[in-house]
Amino acid sequence: MSAPRSAGSARPGRRTLGAGLALLALPAAGCLAGCSATSPTGATGTPGRAGGGTYTVWDPYPQYDGTSGWVKLLDTCGTQAGVTIERTGYDTTDLTNKALLAAQQGNAPDVLVVDNPVVSTLAEAGVLTTTAENRLDVSAISPNLLAAGQSGGDIYGVPIGANTLALYYNKAVLDKAGVDIASVTDWASLTAALEKVKAAGKKGITFSAIGTEEGSFQFLPWFWGSGAQLSRLDSPQGVSAVALWTGWLKKGLAPNSVIDNTQTTSWQEFATGEYAFAENGTWQLANAKETGFAYGVIPVPAKDGGTAAAPTGGEFVSVPVQQDTARYATSQKLVTCLTGPGNSFATATALSYIAPTEQVQTRQSRENPELAVWVKAVKAAKGRTGDDLGTRYPKISEPMWGAVQAALSGAKTPERAMADAQAAAAAAIR
């Protein structure tokens, strides 16, 4: 394993920090419903270079104050490492931009918790050290979750946990329609269930297809579940996923409102009790308990059966490049404390995530059986920047969500929409 390099060391294959500042952060689609977009609150310090016995931690959780389990865990890890933690919580997009600027100024935080699709952006900009450089053990991490933090063959952090998408269902609506949830195993059986629900006088399924990364996030389980790959949007499989959603709208099995729905407004539709299904995430569990009706959760089915790969939400804990390389040893202790086997359960619980290791996932399912289906979904999930897409992913995602919008609105056929999207993506990543 190589020793950590200083901020001035050359790193083959990475962009300069100046170039990195031009990169835009990818929205945290998997956390849009659960993370505040307000200015930082509850920060236990101010951003900037800390010295001596103080170590800075930046995270994308401005909604957590000093009384939260997350901040208490940070303080505990600091105490164990013999240092004081100065923590600041930022909105996700703001955090990425500030991290790029701070790295350029030689003023990066000691530990950075960042949304997983942003890892490749920061890595290519030369902001982050690798796990090998800081001797961070990732051997127990589920490979599908770890992949989101890989770029150019290196790993740039440790997953702190994950959330993903699944299908919530209203038991009373399905009972009225005579639908056995066990029969819903693929696209055909799901569509048949929606048709029965409509015939019984209720509404079928709601989801978010808004023209933003949030829409791509919700579309990906169906896209990947068709067998399609992001490198070819216009494959027959990819077109079939768009055609599935388009067909639901044409048949009245999904509302036209999905075109503008965020995950929050989609959830609000489901919470009325009129819908049989809603595609949404782990972060809605607390809200599900408040709906007043009996509900359940199943993984998003793949086209021909089985569990579709849904995109992973969640963050990585990384160590930014420092001019003072002597700080790395303590930073490594802090990251290990937050992500190691001793505290991984507490970290995942504090952040309402599924843990990134099978050992802790098993404990979560045992202590809270309601999480078992989410553990299953996370095991099948994949990172949006995986398949070595890295910073090319946003250039593919935007044409993809545009294609979905065009098809759902009737402006284009699914075939034409995806063909145009593929052409746009290919031109953007040349």
| pLDDT tens-digit series, residues 73-83 | 999 999 999 99
Q: Report whether pLDDT(52) > 90.
A: no
Q: Convert the pLDDT of each residue in 134-164 to its tens digit.
A: 999 999 999 999 999 998 889 999 999 999 9
| φ and ψ of 21, to 5 deg | -65, -20
| φ and ψ of 88, to 5 deg | -130, 135
Q: Convert the pLDDT of each residue in 273-282 to its tens digit.
A: 999 999 999 9
* Cα torsion 225, 267, 295, 281: sign: positive
> E strand or H helix at 167, and its extent?
strand 165-170
Q: Report whether pLDDT(50) > 60.
A: no
How much is the pLDDT for 151? Answer: 87
How much is the pLDDT for 33? Answer: 36
The count of C-alpha atoms lying within 13 angstroms of the C-alpha of 271, restricted to the half-sphere facing its C-beta, is 15
Strand partners, 357: 141
CATH number of 17-163+313-380: 3.40.190.10
- CATH superfamily placement of domain 165-310+389-428: Periplasmic binding protein-like II (3.40.190.10)
Tell me the C-alpha distance between 91 and 37, whole Å: 5
How much is the pLDDT for 228? Answer: 97
Fold match flag (17-163+313-380 vs 165-310+389-428): yes
Domain boundaries, the chain: 17-163+313-380, 165-310+389-428
Listed in sequence order, the DSSP H helices in 141-251 are 143-146, 171-177, 187-199, 213-225, 236-250
Other CB atoms within 10 A of residue 77 CB: 23
Q: Convert the pLDDT of each residue in 301-329 to its tens digit.
A: 999 999 999 999 999 999 999 999 999 99
Specify the pTM: 0.82
Q: Convert the pLDDT of each residue in 386-412 to its tens digit.
A: 888 888 999 999 999 999 999 999 999
Burial grade of 84 (CB within 10 A; 0-12, 13-18, 19 or more): middle
Q: DSSP characters for 194-216? A: HHHHHHTTSEEEE----SSHHHH
Separation in Å, CA 5 to CA 2, 11, 110, 422: 8, 9, 14, 39
The residue-averaged pLDDT of 291-306 equals 97
Six-digit token string for 258: 């999905």
Q: What angle do CA 214, 264, 267 make, to 5 degrees?
A: 115
The residue-averaged pLDDT of 414-424 equals 98
Tell me the C-alpha distance between 274 and 170, whole Å: 8
